[in-house]
A and B are shown apart, each in its own frame.
Chain A
Amino acid sequence: MKVEATNPAVEFHDLTVSYDKKPVLWNIDMTLPQGALIGIVGPNGAGKSTLIKAAMGLLPLGSGYVRLFNQSLDEVRHRVSYVPQRESVDWDFPTSVLDVVLMGRYGKLGLFRRPSNTDKEIAMNCLKKVGMEAFTKRQISQLSGGQQQRVFLARALAQEADIYFMDEPFAGVDAATESALLGILQGLAKEGKTVVVVHHDLQSAAEFFDWIVLLNLRLVACGPIKDVFTNKLLQDTYGGKLTVLAEVGELVKNREIPSREKY
């Protein structure tokens, strides 16, 4: 099952990625639509993080290529934003919440300019969006895991990019906050931004995403959620180890358009 996007923002062409000569992603060939909230779903070790890192140019590609807006990454870098998995940095680093979010502005500042007041306002706004405005001065080690995750999200928002790649941005975030943040991402998609999210919770995926990529070392399926989020394809992805799936299919069916009015 593979549906090509009519107006692609991201194109993976025959992508193969290996660690130490051992391939972990095989022949990924797909397009992702512009202006959509896109979920990448698959079991642990499926290569989801690897796929995103490959798209962000952080890993050498074995073969194939990735194009964004039909251009190479280097040509559109300032339009692309990345939210790494939370474990990738040292949270004891002596820095404040606001300073981390301001990093999102660095790409636009270049070498010599310092963040201006406008940059600070933008950063503050992004912190408000993720509900962290009360923590601006806090050192990042004094945040809970979910709050740290929200700081990363705010940093990405501050970039004002056109494509966002997010690696499990909701790990450790409580359900209510997750829904609120997914609402914000839906809003971005509505504005025409493309948001690609690695996501583990199938329930909320069924509720919020427009487009789904099912991944398990190979591409199992990708396309609009109503075509792809079926029991059969999910069982294929998870190797038949899922039992709660019946409900998930139902959720997608019940959702259709109405759930979009929530925000």
Chain B
Amino acid sequence: MDAFYIIATASLFAISCSILGAFLILRKMAMVGDAISHAVLPGIVIAFLFTGSRDSITMIIGAGILGVFTTFLIEFFHRRARLQADAAIGVTFTWLFALGVIMVSLFAGQIDIDQDCVLYGEIAYVPLDLWISESGINFGPRALYVASGILIINLIFLFIGYKQLYITTFDPQYAATIGVGVTLWNYLLMGSVSMTTVAAFESVGAILIVALMVVPSACAYLLTQRLEQMILLGVLISIFISVVGYYLAAMIDGSIAGGIVTVSGCLFLMILLTQVLKKRGAKTTVSSPENLG
């Protein structure tokens, strides 16, 4: 049963991440996921200090607000100060993360958050944190509910906003001319990224979320030519790497999150290789007559 809980939680988070990641990659903003996952740290600390609680909802709200603020800062540096996008991202998230680290060490006595737990997480503990009702009924691991809730929110977001996300990603200027709120949808997307990141990093850790956001979608991008297919395939790949990653980790008795990312990296390399070979193959068949002559 533990294996099922862990795999299910990992898959649900990975699916959420890959859906959002598809849009991030196409917007050439994959690293914004990285930035947000680090920059939300002060938000978590502040939320914690204000409410004194470590429950997921508080942390998600605190971090969500900071995630949107991060997006705002990046946009501001990029558009107003005319800094390159990557420089704007780099400045913003390192600074906010540093702020978070300082806050953690300042309030270390009052908070039991440490960078390690935020950065690396530990999905193996998922089955330990159970949701048990007052009357003593065991509903299963809490993280599974968080992961399901987040996925449902993301699916609703995707279902309602698909057209708008698609058009503002492909051609934001044109979208603006037909009255689609480009800025609004950008912030909605980044808000979802922040929310998902924070909800997931207790379980899988911030660094690994970045992998879940980028790698499955990047694999799908290489394999398809339609956005719907890219998202769907990203979802399938997410499930696949969660399952295989778990058993790889179980086999070598290593970190489960590490196993998942290792598998996704290998999958990406394999897909890339086959694509390159396919293209190479196509080229040699075309050019071979010249080679002979």
- Using a CB–CB cutoff of 8 Å, the interface residues on chain A facing chain B are 53, 56-58, 74, 77-78, 80-82, 84, 88-90, 93-96, 99-100, 103, 106-107, 109, 111-112, 114, 139, 155, 159
Contact B226 A88 (CB under 8 A): no
Cβ of B164 under 8 Å from chain A? yes
The verdict on B225 contacting chain A, using a C-beta distance below 8 Å, is: yes
17 A-B pairs besides A58-B173, A93-B170, A94-B230 with CB distance below 8 A are A53-B173, A56-B177, A57-B177, A77-B178, A78-B179, A80-B177, A82-B174, A82-B177, A88-B173, A89-B170, A89-B174, A94-B26, A94-B221, A95-B227, A103-B170, A111-B160, A159-B178
**What are 10 A-B pairs with beta-carbon distances under 8 A?**
A53-B173, A77-B179, A78-B178, A82-B173, A84-B174, A90-B170, A99-B226, A99-B227, A106-B167, A107-B178
The answer to whether B163 has its CB under 8 Å from any CB of chain A is yes
Sorting the interface of chain B by its residue count into under 10, 10 to 19, 20 to 34 or 35 or more gives 20 to 34
Contact B173 A112 (CB under 8 A): no
Say how far A237's CB is from chain B's closest CB, in angstroms: 27
With most chain A CB atoms within 10 A of its CB, the pick from B171, B178, B179, B221 is B178
Whether A58 lies near B171 (C-beta < 8 A) is no
Contact A88 B179 (CB under 8 A): no
Which residues of A have CB within 8 Å of B174?
82, 84, 89, 103, 155
Cβ–Cβ < 8 Å partners of A155 in chain B: 174
> What residues of B have a CB within 8 angstroms of the CB of A74 in the complex?
179
Contact A109–B176 (Cβ < 8 Å): no
**What is the count of residue pairs linking A and B with beta-carbon distances less than 8 angstroms?**
72
Q: Is the interface of A mostly helix, strand, loop or mixed?
A: mixed
Q: Complex: how many Å from CA A66 to CA B98?
A: 47
Q: Does B224 contact A (CB under 8 A)?
A: yes
A94 with B173: CB separation less than 8 A: no
CB distance from B60 to the nearest CB of A (A): 25
Which label, helix, strand, loop or mixed, suits the secondary structure of the B interface?
Answer: helix
Contacts of B227 in A (CB 8 A): 93-95, 99
| B180 on interface, CB distance cutoff 8 Å | yes
B225 near A58 with CB under 8 A, answer no
> B167 near A103 (CB under 8 angstroms)?
yes
Please name all residues of chain B whose beta carbon is closer than 8 Å to the beta carbon of A107 when the two chains form the complex.
178-179
Chain A hits for B229, CB < 8 A: 94
* Least CB distance, B159 to chain A, in whole angstroms: 10
Minimum CB–CB distance for A224 against chain B, Å: 28
Which residue of chain B lies nearest to A91 when distances are taken between CB atoms in the complex? Answer: B170
Q: Is the CB of A57 within 8 A of B170?
A: no
The winner among A103, A109, A114 for most chain B CB atoms within 10 A is A103
Query: Counting chain A CB atoms within 10 Å of each CB, which of B28, B163, B169 scores highest?
Result: B163
Chain B residues with Cβ under 8 A from A89's Cβ?
170-171, 174
B173 contacts which chain A residues (CB < 8 A)?
A: 53, 58, 82, 84, 88
